[in-house]
A and B are shown apart, each in its own frame.
Chain A
């Protein structure tokens, strides 16, 4: 099955600096890669996602890059703010499986605790 590795486990940056979180995946059939932010006691919230036919996607201060050959993808947050402090999870989803009806679950990385220092 799919295995997603995520680094670092904890990242502390000064407010206003950039943060980068990296993930690798093992299954070359994976074709969809979302990033979720989870604050303490809250649900995971989708912040950005990318499909395997795209190399980069940006949404204001957040960007994701994907290297299919190397099987790794990264989250970039610029101009970090205190409200960016949370746990961030990367995830990967396989392409459609026989009998799956087009649906498949996500395999998550172990998470990165991002701390923004004021």
Chain B
């Protein structure tokens, strides 16, 4: 399996809902990432997990809560989101080269709409 998969593809939620985004890879990659991409903008880093531990949080509001249950799975739990959080949420994983996590491969994303 050479792909990063994400579910669901689309999600519509109200501001009081709780939902989760799921990301999976079976390439043996030990670093996984969440990015947020607004329309006509580049992806922006949210979180980095390295060997199942959260290593980077780019000052993301606490209404976004990441979780890495095992080396193949990455979740993003959503609670009390705002309409401005509507975006494409991309997951990525990276292959280790000479001790560094480098080439990042992206999943297809979850398109989130917050009403």
Contacts and interface: CB of A to CB of B under 8 A. Distances in A.
Given A32-B102, A102-B50, A109 B42 contact: yes
Given A89-B42, A110-B41, A102 B100 contact: yes
Contacts of B35: 105
A3 to B, nearest CB: 12
B106 A43 contact: yes
A108 B92 CA distance: 14
| Tier of interface size on chain A | 20 to 34
Given A32-B102, A93-B102, A109-B42, A104 B56 contact: yes
B2 interface: no
B103 A105 contact: no
| Tier of interface size on chain B | 20 to 34
B106 A103 contact: no
A96 B99 CA distance: 9
B43 interface: yes
Interface string A87-108: 0010001011001111111111
A42 interface: yes
What 10 pairs between A and B have smallest CB-CB spacing? A101-B50, A105-B45, A108-B42, A103-B31, A103-B101, A103-B50, A43-B106, A43-B108, A44-B106, A102-B100
Interface of A: 32, 34, 36, 42-46, 49, 51, 89, 93, 95-96, 99-111
Given A46-B104, A93-B102, 18 more contacts: A43-B106, A43-B108, A43-B109, A44-B90, A46-B105, A49-B102, A102-B96, A102-B99, A102-B101, A103-B50, A104-B48, A105-B45, A105-B56, A106-B43, A106-B45, A106-B104, A109-B42, A111-B41
